[in-house]
Amino acid sequence: MTLFLCSSNAFPFLSLHSDSERSFTSRTLRNVSLFSMAPHQPFSGLVFEPFEELKHELFLIPSMPDQSIARQRFSDDCEAALNQQINVEYNVSYAYHAMFAYFDRDNVALRGFAKFFKESSEAEREHAEKLIEYQNKRGGRVNLNSILMPLSEFNHYEKGDALNAMELALSLEKLTNEKLLNLHDIAVKCNDVHMKNYIENEFLGEQVEAIKKISEYIAQLRLVGNGHGVWHFDQMLLNG
């Protein structure tokens, strides 16, 4: 490493205005000259040698066609946890779809509830697809597991079908939130900063909002009771 020292005449902004400034500069130049005497000795910890460091990274790039090329600092635990969460999202989506089918029946005919649960089903499926895309982006392998058969009947002799279904929906949202928090904990444990931030930014805030909204729906349904009040609530969901 060779340093070229220029006079203050070449750079007017380096002109010295006092004896103390000239003395400081003189000492600095003498110190710099010590380094210029050994140009072939690198500064340990200060010099970035990209091609030397690249040797290790090039060695890590897989050559087998069945291995991910993009994968970096993505642990097996994070990969497995993402696949579990994908399965959770699909199961919740399937449960919401069963609720949609129930309220869309001709002898139930609560189209607002049918609309709400259909949209909820689509939202959970979109969450699963987002996690699939993220898994692929990080170089993981998506493994889709089986989906459990959900309930198909939601009537309750005390609560009625509307309140019963909405309470089930709240339980599903809280369960999903708990699973997402577990996924976040695994990302923290594995020191995967990108995955931790992704879960925080894309899922956790939305999950809290969904829990709050459904909780308010439950409180309102408990107030209106069965019968005509449920029909008015259904119209609010339909036209909202």
3 lies in a domain? no
Question: Binding site residues for Fe cation, as ranges?
Answer: 89, 124, 127, 173, 207
Whole-angstrom Cα distance, residue 82 to residue 134? Answer: 9
Query: Structure pTM?
Result: 0.75
Number of domains in the chain: 1
CB within 8 Å of 22: residues ≥ 6 apart: 16
Query: What range does the domain containing 118 cover?
Result: 76-239
pLDDT string in tens for the chain (240-residue length): 444 444 444 444 444 455 555 554 555 444 444 444 455 555 555 666 666 666 666 656 766 777 788 888 899 999 999 999 999 999 999 999 999 999 999 999 999 999 999 999 999 999 999 999 999 999 999 999 999 999 999 999 999 999 999 999 999 999 999 999 999 999 999 999 999 999 999 999 999 999 999 999 999 999 999 889 999 999 999 998
Q: Does any domain span residue 68? A: no
Cβ-proximal residues to 3 (8 Å cutoff; 6+ apart), any chain: 32, 35, 36
139 domain-assigned: yes
User: Which residue numbers belong to the known binding site?
Assistant: 89, 124, 127, 173, 207
> Which residues, other chains included, contact 142 with Cβ-Cβ below 8 Å and sequence gap of 6+?
83, 86, 132, 135, 136
Q: What is the pLDDT of residues 65-100, one digit of tens each?
A: 777 888 888 999 999 999 999 999 999 999 999 999
Rounded CA separation 102/100 (Å): 5
Tell me which amino acid residue 52 is. E
Angstrom distance (rounded) from CA 117 to CA 100: 5
Helix axes 76-103, 111-137, angle to 10 degrees: 160
C-alpha distance across the termini of the chain, in Å = 70
Domain assignment present for residue 136? The answer is yes
Residue 27 lies in a domain: no
CATH, residue 182: 1.20.1260.10
